[in-house]
Amino acid sequence: MKIGAITNYNQPNFQAVNQKYLKKAEDWYKRIGDIDSSWYESLRDDVNLFKDISAQDGIDTMMAAKKFVRDKSMRAFNHVLDCIRRG
């Protein structure tokens, strides 16, 4: 999977963000105003199960996508983030 660096003056710098997942998060946000649960499951599986994405890259991707998460979904977001951190 291709990983690209994101640098922007309006958001913190991250080491590596998976552009595929960030684009999907943005698309979900544009369509429904939030990230769909399938996005979380897929990212978690690619990090913890398949090891296609490193844990740090998964964390960075989630932190970059956090701006697309509504308050009501923050509990799910934090749960998946904790799962990725724990491995």
pTM: 0.82
pLDDT at 37: 96
Give the DSSP per-residue string, 24-83: HHHHHHHHHSS--HHHHHHHHIIIIIS-SS-HHHHHHHHHHHGGG--GGGHHHHHHHHHH
pLDDT at 1: 44
Residue 14, SS3 per DSSP: coil
For the chain, give every domain's residue range: 3-9+19-86
Helix H or strand E segment including 81: helix 74-86
- 50 residue type, one letter: F
Residues of the chain with pLDDT under 50: 1-10
pLDDT at 16: 86
